[in-house]
């Protein structure tokens, strides 16, 4: 049966277009229930025995939630207790339009067999489709469609089989009008909350209920604490007229009464507006898109240097005295400094709330069910939740979602989502770290795994016919110890004409991951493999990452090869790219490769190949540095892990060898060669990588630091910087140059992916290369897979597809990859910080030598080279009178009593773990040397370690 909808739409040019949509109604849409004999269905989803213990519904029943229940109570629906649920097409479509994250979670539940969630296509079923009536709103029509479908189900199941007598259908809605109409038409209908509260033996489900609008007023005081948010229509008019600006709200980590709103201007232009004080922050939460009104210039303030954490007991909605004092402190400290554009939040354009990890502050009131939750992320406000299991949750890391923030309430209201485990435990903290950095780490779904090749896998004759056979070449890989996802391998051999042939062979991941399938979409979403201490979160399933794509030794593998003919001066004479088959002759670590090169008694093919590569790499590096490439420094640490407890027992900074540099040179060369090739072929849609030059002000701290040691640094060009870093020396201070390079690294901008058709500046500042991309790590970076696909099309080794040539889509993909890379770096740093804390937890107090890296108003930041560790030595204490401090920003120098601290000063400090706040444990440092009376501490006695634990390197 065919229905058609007709409507008119205005076109861009102002014309009117008539659109006719055909809508087919069918008789072969089945109900999905086991008890039904009428429907000719091959498989069913909804169980015959749909029992759940409930005070309200003592009979077996299926549940039909309406759209708002799904949108607001998704945490409840995800609980394993809730099964046998009918999701109507009307609901699915509305959820899809209103919330992409909830829609994804709902689709996952429908695909999960153990949940017995059935999607019923009521909009195409002849008996459940309804037309919108004249004067009926779209919302009312959808509510009616849900009631009609629920009515059809209850009648359909009654007529099915005699033993289905007891099976009923329960409609869940929180809409009073909808509930009333459903009751009038004889349906079984309950509010979501009353249904959940009726479930016997599942009290934790009640904690997961999101607050409805009625409940929100119970928790708040009668006093209005915040200005009303303006409606969207007024906000839009205000933005249009220039009265308001739109921007992203960025709360401060150090001061809960301060934030900035980042306003994106035309092109790369952007401004920041300062927001100070509770009233002006007006219930905005980190990352919300907000509308801001600028204050008159005489009310502008300066960013405060005061550190204020919202800690301790709940600041009640009635008690404002303390906060008024804190806000005054901000303004006093701001009076003398430079003022910035300052504003107030007048409305919220888009909430960017997510479930937050953190811990519960148990209320001091006995028997209270209302408690404050403190998020792990200091930029998120504390959240008030209701829970009856507070005593169980004390000391655990939990997840909480925000439901709303009424103008009467000092804190947002939220609900408990789930517990992550005991605080301080390694697995729990790792989970928190991944969730807080938005690292996708769930197991790969069946849909993704279904696209893996069937085992046992072999290279087929068809594959061989389309590839160059390079199995006879002496190819080997060089990687860190324990590496199983081997992306790259190398070879070097002398040609008959006396020149050298050098090959970089990269795992052919794009052969296994085809565009647009579930595995490709998952890899694109993850963007990168994330390496934590002792754990790896793969971008692609392990069968590919550690086996079929990994270029392990003595097995045949598919590769994408970049092969150059070079003379002995490392000048490139010819370049070619080919899909190939290789058989690596050895998987070496950097140390093993170095030993082969250095061992004069060895002269086998692999060693000769390595020596050839090493010789050329040194020339390539020299050429790069002459062009102005930077050699910067950052201390990377390596933990030695106990093989039984998996705790860190030793901490060392990684040392780099010649072979590290050798591999790096050829990877850089391959990336540059491929970048040029794909840009020549596809000037509009090549996926490239650029590194912008830092603005001159970024170098201020580096110039001041060098000047303090009478060393001159030039920063006009990358070459000037590289050259002046090379000659920067201080007699009797061998570590000075490394410190300077560490500081120079901090001045740099972030390198980013971009689409060539959307940008004109391609230059890579750090490598001094006019063009660059990523080609050499497709197992762990999605950008490289895109580059492989572009290169394959360029050499006619594979076919193209529309998204690859769409610069808008490529640009959006580049933005996601930049975000994922940034979050993965932050997650890796957080993992190192956590393992460093574990290491010092078992060490007591250590004393070590270090160098001052930065000087602040009330502290110095010290680098301990031995551990690659940074920490702060504070000179003011909250509870006692501090020493006399004089800070000079020009130096920068800090006078503490009679002693002056400058950047790069050598100091001796004690290092210990401060675990007083279990959620925010810190490495504490105290000064031993120089000795300042009343400030420095005596050196602790360090006990010798008696037992050497087992090492698992």
Residue-wise pLDDT tens digits, 473-483 = 999 999 988 88
Name the range with the highest mean pLDDT among 436-440, 467-471, 864-868: 467-471
Q: What is the mean pLDDT of the chain?
A: 85
Provide the pLDDT for residue 950.
Answer: 40
Distance CA 3, CA 20 (A): 10
- Residue 548 has what DSSP assignment? I
Question: Of 692, 691, 707, 690, which is closest to residue 743 (Cα–Cα)?
Answer: 707
Give the pLDDT confidence of 150-165 residue by residue, as tens digits: 999 988 888 765 444 5
Residue pair 205/389 in contact by the 8 Å Cβ criterion: no
Q: 143: buried, middle or exposed (CB in 10 Å: 19+, 13-18, 0-12)?
A: buried
Q: What is the pLDDT of residue 861?
A: 86
Residue 634 predicted with pLDDT over 70 = no
Region of poorest pLDDT, from 5-14, 381-390, 511-520 = 5-14
How much is the pLDDT for 106?
92
**Band (953; pLDDT cuts 50, 70, 90):** very low
Q: Is the pLDDT of residue 951 over 60?
A: no
- Going by the DSSP 8-state scheme, the letter that residue 189 receives in this structure is E
User: 294 versus 937: which is more confidently predicted?
Assistant: 294
| Mean pLDDT (whole number) for 80-96 | 92
Can you give the pLDDT at residue 306?
A: 58
CB 204 within 8 A of CB 189: no
Give the list of residues 6+ apart from residue 298 with CB closer than 8 angstroms, or none.
none
What mean pLDDT is predicted for residues 574-578? Answer: 95
Least confident span in 248-257, 304-313, 693-702: 304-313
Report the pLDDT value the prediction gives residue 856, as an integer from 0 to 100: 81
pLDDT tens digits, 167-186: 889 999 998 899 999 999 88
Q: From the CB of residue 200, how many other CB atoms can be counted at a distance below 10 Å? A: 9
242 or 55: which carries more pLDDT confidence?
Answer: 242
SS (H, E, C) 787-799: HHHHHHHHCCCCC
% of the chain with per-residue pLDDT over 90: 40
Can you read off the two tokens belonging to residue 270?
């952007």
Which CATH class name applies to 44-208?
alpha beta
Q: What is the DSSP letter of 39?
A: S
118-134 burial by CB neighbour count: b if 16+ within 10 A, else e?
A: bbbbbbbbeebbbeeee
Give the CATH class of 232-304+336-437.
mainly beta
| Residue 470, pLDDT score | 95
pLDDT tens per residue across span 706-732: 888 888 888 888 888 888 888 888 887
pLDDT at 7 over 80: no
For the chain, the 3-state helix, strand and coil shares in percent, each to the nearest 5, are 35, 25, 40
Q: How far is CA 20 from CA 8, 122, 830, in A?
A: 9, 21, 55
Instruction: Determine the pLDDT at residue 219.
Output: 47
Listed residue (147, 152, 148) closest to 39, CA to CA: 152
What are the extents of the domains in the chain?
Answer: 44-208, 232-304+336-437, 446-689+754-826, 694-748, 844-929
Q: CATH homologous superfamily for 844-929?
A: Nucleic acid-binding proteins (2.40.50.140)
**Regarding predicted confidence, which is higher, 775 or 843?**
775
Q: How confident is the model at residue 217 (pLDDT cuts 50, 70, 90)?
A: very low
The 8-class DSSP code of residue 807 comes to H
Structure tokens, 38: 């009428």
Do the domains 232-304+336-437 and 844-929 sit in the same CATH topology, yes or no? yes
- Compute the distance between CA of residue 262 and CA of residue 272 in angstroms, rounded to an integer: 5
The pTM for the full model equals: 0.79
Residue 1, CA distances (Å) to 31, 128, 729 in order: 19, 13, 86
Give 346-371 pLDDT, tens digit per residue.
999 998 888 899 998 877 776 677 88
Residue-wise pLDDT tens digits, 502-527: 999 999 999 999 999 999 999 999 99
Structure tokens at 316: 């009640």
Number of H helices, E strands in the chain: 27, 38
pLDDT tens across 785-828, in order?
999 999 999 999 889 999 999 999 999 999 999 999 999 999 99
Length of the chain counted residue by residue: 953
887 has a pLDDT exceeding 90: no
């Amino acid at each position: 049966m065919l229905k058609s909808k007709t409507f008119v739409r205005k076109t861009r040019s102002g014309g009117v277009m008539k659109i006719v949509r055909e809508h087919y109604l069918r008789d072969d849409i089945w109900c999905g229930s086991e008890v039904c004999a009428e429907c000719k269905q091959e498989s069913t989803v909804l169980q015959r025995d749909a029992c759940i213990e409930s005070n309200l519904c003592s009979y077996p029943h299926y549940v039909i939630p309406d759209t708002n229940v799904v949108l607001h109570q998704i945490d409840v629906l995800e609980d394993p207790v809730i099964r046998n649920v009918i999701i109507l097409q009307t609901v699915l479509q509305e959820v899809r339009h209103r919330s992409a994250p909830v829609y994804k979670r709902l689709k996952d539940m429908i695909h999960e067999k153990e949940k017995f969630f059935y999607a019923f296509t009521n909009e195409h079923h002849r008996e459940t489709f309804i037309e919108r009536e004249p004067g009926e709103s779209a919302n009312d029509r959808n509510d009616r469609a849900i009631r009609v479908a629920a009515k059809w189900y209850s009648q359909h199941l009654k007529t099915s089989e005699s033993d289905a007598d007891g099976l009923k259908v329960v409609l869940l809605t929180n809409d009073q009008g909808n509930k009333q109409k459903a009751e009038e038409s004889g349906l079984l209908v309950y509010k979501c909350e009353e249904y959940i509260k009726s479930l016997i033996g599942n009290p934790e489900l009640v904690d997961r209920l999101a607050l409805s609008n009625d409940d929100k007023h119970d928790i708040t005081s009668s006093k209005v604490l915040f200005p009303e948010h303006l409606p969207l229509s007024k906000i839009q008019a205000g933005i249009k007229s220039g009265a308001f600006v739109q921007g992203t709200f960025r709360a401060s980590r150090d001061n809960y009464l301060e934030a900035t709103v980042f306003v994106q201007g035309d092109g790369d232009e952007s401004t920041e507006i300062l927001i100070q004080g509770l009233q002006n922050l007006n219930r905005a939460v980190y990352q919300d898109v907000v509308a801001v009104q600028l204050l008159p210039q005489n009310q502008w303030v300066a960013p405060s240097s005061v550190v204020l954490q919202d800690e301790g007991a709940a600041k009640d909605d009635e008690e404002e005295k303390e906060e008024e004092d804190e806000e005054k402190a901000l303004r006093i400290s701001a009076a003398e400094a430079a003022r910035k554009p300052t504003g107030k939040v007048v409305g919220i354009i888009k909430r960017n709330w997510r479930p937050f990890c953190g811990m519960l502050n148990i209320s001091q009131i006995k028997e209270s069910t209302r408690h404050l939750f403190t998020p792990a992320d200091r930029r998120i406000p504390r959240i008030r939740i209701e829970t009856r299991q507070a005593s169980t949750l004390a000391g655990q890391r939990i997840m909480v979602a925000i439901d709303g923030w009424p103008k009467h309430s000092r804190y947002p209201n939220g609900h408990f989502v789930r517990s992550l485990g005991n605080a301080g435990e390694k697995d729990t903290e790792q989970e928190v770290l991944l969730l807080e950095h938005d690292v996708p780490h769930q197991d790969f779904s069946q849909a993704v795994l279904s696209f893996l090749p069937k085992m046992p896998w072999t290279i087929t004759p068809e594959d061989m016919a389309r590839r160059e056979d390079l199995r006879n070449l002496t190819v080997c890989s060089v990687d860190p110890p324990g590496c199983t996802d081997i992306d790259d391998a190398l070879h070097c051999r002398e040609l008959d004409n006396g020149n050298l042939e050098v090959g970089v062979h990269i795992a052919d991941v794009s052969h296994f991951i085809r565009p647009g399938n579930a595995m490709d979409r998952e890899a694109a979403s993850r963007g990168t493999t994330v390496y934590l201490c002792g754990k790896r979160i793969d971008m692609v399933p392990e069968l590919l990452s550690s086996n079929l794509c990994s270029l392990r030794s003595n097995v045949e593998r598919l590769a994408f090869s970049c092969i150059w003919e070079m003379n002995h001066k490392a000048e490139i004479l010819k370049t070619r790219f080919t899909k190939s088959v290789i058989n690596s002759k050895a998987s070496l670590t950097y140390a093993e490769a170095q030993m082969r090169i250095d061992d004069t008694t060895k002269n086998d093919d692999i060693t000769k190949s390595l020596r050839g590569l090493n010789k050329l790499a040194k020339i390539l590096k020299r050429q790069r540095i002459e062009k102005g490439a930077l050699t910067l420094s950052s201390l990377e640490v390596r933990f030695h892990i106990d093989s039984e407890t998996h705790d860190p027992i030793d901490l060392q900074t990684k040392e780099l060898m010649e072979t590290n540099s050798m591999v790096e040179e050829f990877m850089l060369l391959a990336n540059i060669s491929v970048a040029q090739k794909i840009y020549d072929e596809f000037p509009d849609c090549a996926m490239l990588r650029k590194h912008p030059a830092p603005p001159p002000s970024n170098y201020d701290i580096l110039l001041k630091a060098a000047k303090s040691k009478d060393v001159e640094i030039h920063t006009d060009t990358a070459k000037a910087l590289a050259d002046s870093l090379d000659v920067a020396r201080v007699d009797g201070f061998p570590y000075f140059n490394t410190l300077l390079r560490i500081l120079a690294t901090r001045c740099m901008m972030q390198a980013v992916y971009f689409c060539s058709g959307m940008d004109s500046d391609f230059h890579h500042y750090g490598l001094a290369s006019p063009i660059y991309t990523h080609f050499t790590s497709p197992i762990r970076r999605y950008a490289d897979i895109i580059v492989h696909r572009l290169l394959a099309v360029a050499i006619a080794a594979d076919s193209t597809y529309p998204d690859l040539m769409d610069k808008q889509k490529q640009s959006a993909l580049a933005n996601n990859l930049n975000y994922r890379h940034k979050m993965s770096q932050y997650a890796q740093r957080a993992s190192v910080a956590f393992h460093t804390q574990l290491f010092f937890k078992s060490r007591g107090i250590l004393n070590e030598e270090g160098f001052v890296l930065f000087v602040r108003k009330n502290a110095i930041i010290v680098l301990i080279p031995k551990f690659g560790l940074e920490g702060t030595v504070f000179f003011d204490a909250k509870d006692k009178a501090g020493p006399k401090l004089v800070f000079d920003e020009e130096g920068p120098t800090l006078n503490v009593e009679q002693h002056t601290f400058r950047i790069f000063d050598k100091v001796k400090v004690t290092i210990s773990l401060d675990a007083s706040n279990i959620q925010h444990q810190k490495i504490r440092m105290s000064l031993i040397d120089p000795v300042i009376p009343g400030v420095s501490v005596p050196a602790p006695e360090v006990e010798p370690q008696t037992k050497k634990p087992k090492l698992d390197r």
